[in-house]
Amino acid sequence: MAVKLRLTRMGRKKRPFYRIVAVDSRARRDGQYIESLGTYDPLTHPATVVVDQAAALKWLGNGAQPTDTVRSLLSRAGVLLAHDLGKRGATPEQVAEKVGAHQEQVAARNQQAVEARRRAAEAARKTQAEAARRAAEEKAASAAAAKAEEAAE
Distances (CA, A) of 23 to 9, 37, 48, 95: 13, 11, 22, 27
Structure-derived torsion over alpha carbons of residues 67, 72, 76, 77, reported in degrees to the nearest 10: -10
Q: How many CB atoms lie within 10 A of CB 7?
A: 22
pLDDT single digits (tens) 8-63: 999 999 999 999 999 998 888 888 899 999 999 999 888 899 999 999 999 999 99
User: What is the structure's pLDDT at 65?
Assistant: 94
Of 29, 31, 83, 33, give the one whose Cα is nearest residue 56.
83
